[in-house]
């Protein structure tokens, strides 16, 4: 069993302010937004996105 919600909540409580999803798709991003509505979320689909993602961090 994956305890994704509990993991997200623990990360938030530990001071995480931004989540980065690597790879195509946005499944995990959706789970983050449903669990932590105000959390910043960044998606990195490939090498072409790297500069943009780094600028957001």
DSSP code for 19: E
What six digits make up the tokens of 40?
A: 């910043």
- In tens digits, the chain (57 residues) has pLDDT values of 999 999 999 999 999 999 988 888 888 899 999 999 999 998 888 777 888 888 877
What local confidence, expressed as pLDDT, does residue 36 receive? 95
For the question of whether the overall pTM of this predicted structure is more than 0.75, the answer is no
Residue 10's Cβ-count burial label (10 Å; 0-12, 13-18, 19+) is: exposed
The structural domains of the chain, with segments of one domain joined by +, span: 4-56
Check if the beta carbon of residue 12 is closer than 8 Å to that of residue 6: no
* Long-range residue pairs from 46-55, CB within 8 A, at least 24 positions apart, any chain: 53/20
């Amino acid at each position: 069993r994956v305890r994704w919600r509990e993991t997200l909540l623990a990360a938030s409580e530990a001071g995480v302010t931004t989540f980065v999803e690597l790879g195509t798709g946005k499944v995990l991003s959706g789970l983050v937004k449903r669990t932590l509505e105000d959390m910043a979320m960044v998606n990195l689909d490939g090498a072409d996105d790297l500069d943009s993602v780094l600028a957001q961090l």
